[in-house]
Amino acid sequence: MEKQRVIILACGSFNPPTFGHLRMLEDAKTSLESDGSQVLGGILSPVSDGYGKKTLINAIHRMAMTVAAVSGSDWIHSDGWECSKPEWTKTVDVIAHHQKEAEKRFGNDVRVLLLVGGDVVETFDKFNSDGTPVWSSDDLSEIVTSGLIVQPRPGSNLEKTLEAMNFEKR
């Protein structure tokens, strides 16, 4: 069987980036490589100021912090495409952007996998105060189909959320 070639993508506020963010990427890489995948790189993608979270410091500063955080890594880099946008960009669109960029650089046989914490998975079936879903079902379907890596977090019950939504844990 041919090795799967992958890029690990972590989207987030990175307000600030933490050792935990980097550890998640390292753990995902180790796990994927132990399953025979070839990890070609990791990406930290800070969210745009347009996300609207009141406690976010300016994207230019969060970008600078992510660049500094990965400066010692030979495989993780920080990417400013998402945070350079004036408006918030849906996660599926961020993945699609990085998928296109990865294919240009590495060929059509590379997959971009989204890395999230278990706490993010627990928002998959939640609703905003106006009654709209936090995540659209079409977006979730696309994210799960394209590739999702979940790092459990203490106190999160991602299996319960995924089962309730009829997603398989693999």
89: pLDDT strictly greater than 50: yes
The predicted-structure confidence for 133-143, as pLDDT tens digits, reads as follows 999 999 999 99
H/E/C letters for each residue in the chain?
Answer: CCCCEEEEEEEECCCCCCHHHHHHHHHHHHHHHHCCCEEEEEEEEECCHHHCCCCCCCHHHHHHHHHHHCCCCCCEEECCCCCCCCCCCCHHHHHHHHHHHHHHHHCCCEEEEEEEEHHHHCCCCCECCCCCECCCHHHHHHHHHHCEEEECCCCCCHHHHHHHCCCCCC
pLDDT of residue 170: 47
pTM for the predicted model, two decimal places: 0.90
114: pLDDT strictly greater than 60: yes
Give the mean pLDDT of the chain: 91
75: pLDDT strictly greater than 50: yes
pLDDT of residue 167: 59
pLDDT of residue 168: 54
Residue range 100-129: mean pLDDT, rounded: 93
In the chain the domains, ranked by start, together with CATH numbers, are: 5-164 (3.40.50.620)
